[in-house]
Amino acid sequence: MMAGLLFTGTDTGVGKTFVTAAVARTLRQQGRPVRVCKPVATGAAWREGRWLSDDTRLLAEAAGVVGEWDRVTPWSFPDAVAPPVAARRQGKTLTLEEVVEAVRAREQADGVLLVEGIGGFLCPLTERETVADLAVALQWPLVVVARRSLGTLNHTLLTLEAAQARHLRVAGVVVNETLPPGGLADETNVEELKQRMTVPLLAVIPYQAGPAAAALPSVAAVDWWRLAKTNP
């Protein structure tokens, strides 16, 4: 079975796509076979005769599969709301079994699959399940992406607690600067996190004015291949 990493977040807009894409670029530059999947995306725009989200486009570009939109994201919806609500508004219903099957369909022998969730860890995914339930079904290591801002400590520690309560393996945390750093909270929260959490701090990504065109040094320094391939 193919190895994989599930990228989740402490909230929406923390940079999950940005980080997942950077990891995909890093693995490709290392000559590693890698695929990407964001099974459900909301807030999509009508492009090329389909609903297509910016997240899907960025992930596909990073993995070198531009045009394979439906493979990267099987379900895309226009409304920027939780997936079950967005699906319902289009007359559709998502099930966890279908989502897991779509993710598994992206597997390839001897490679790594990078899966990006949607919203935060407990964001509703189907009518009954959340992203956390997808993580339980996949049983892949989690990479938790957090923004560097006031509230980072609480949001990150709560996410880790929720993951650990489900006996999920957390590969580590990536702190992403979604805005230029400023203020005492930004100066101190990374060190405070390191003292309080029991999983590795994998990387701190400095603020980027736009999508990175190449792998980021802090991301490239992490052995993502080993993290995905290491069994519990």
- Residues annotated as part of the active site: 38
- Identify the burial level of 55 via C-beta atoms within 10 angstroms of its C-beta, where 0-12 means exposed, 13-18 middle and 19 or more buried: buried
Contacts of 145 (CB under 8 A, 6+ apart): 7, 8, 9, 10, 14, 15, 16, 19, 173, 174, 176
CA distance readout (Å), 199 to 3, 33, 143, 159, 161:
20, 26, 10, 12, 11
Q: How far apart (Å, rounded) are the C-alpha atoms in residues 92 and 81?
A: 14
Q: In 10 A of CB 164, how many CB atoms?
A: 14
Which among 183, 171, 188, 189 is positioned nearest to 228, based on CA atoms? 171
Please name the residue ranges forming H helices in 64-143: 69-72, 83-89, 96-104, 131-138
